Amino acid sequence: MGKIRIIGGVHRSRQLPVLDSKDLRPTLDRVKETVFNWLGQDLTGKSCLDLFAGSGSLGFEACSRNATKVIMVEQNVKVAQQLKNNIQLLKVESNCQVLCTDALIYLQKILDKFDVIMLDPPYQGNLLNKALERIDQILAENGVIYIEYEIEPCLPDTLMMIKNGKAGNVRFALLARS
């Protein structure tokens, strides 16, 4: 079993167990530091969606930084259960929830709007582009989308890249409405 570390907020320095799985790529601490410098250290009043949650690294950072609501969507049953266990460890059940479902199906059904949407899907299967095609209907008016990617995504006309970076093999960006 691996571990992720929360790097900021009220749960700073807490380590959480993560299942060992070839499909999980927890976001690097130095990338999280950059991302939460972009997003702001305090997410009070913000609703966040961690769409391909995996280890939950991004979602737990949002929780630790006082996000009002964090929804983590994870299709793998065992990984989703570990996320639920970690929510209980942190005692954040009141503002953090895990949904065990396919992310693209979730996007078709959800009616809520989110201020911060985090997309770090598996690289195979063109999932990032498929998610970006459907994301506009759930992005709050002044919302932003954080993405991690291997190949530059095809952005819909409604979105533009406002910041980007690279750390090792990880490429990441912040998107907003055009």
Mean pLDDT by 10 residues, the chain (178 residues): 92 91 80 93 96 96 97 96 96 96 95 96 89 94 95 93 92 95
Query: Which tokens go with 107?
Result: 């996007």
Q: Which of 112, 66, 124 is nearest to 92 (CA)?
A: 66
Taking the CB of residue 123, how many other CB atoms lie within 10 A of it? Answer: 14
Query: Which tokens go with 83?
Result: 């996320």
Can you give the pLDDT at residue 19? 84
Helix axes 29-39, 57-64, angle to 10 degrees: 50
Q: What angle do CA 22, 26, 31 make, to 5 degrees?
A: 140
Q: Which of 67, 57, 71 is nearest to 120 (CA)?
A: 57
Give the predicted TM-score (pTM) of the model: 0.95
- Domain 2-177 fold is Rossmann fold (3.40.50)
Residues 6 or more apart whose Cβ sits within 8 Å of residue 110 = 138
Can you give the pLDDT at residue 20? 79
Can you give the pLDDT at residue 1? 79
Distance CA 84, CA 55 (A): 11
The domain limits of the chain are: 2-177
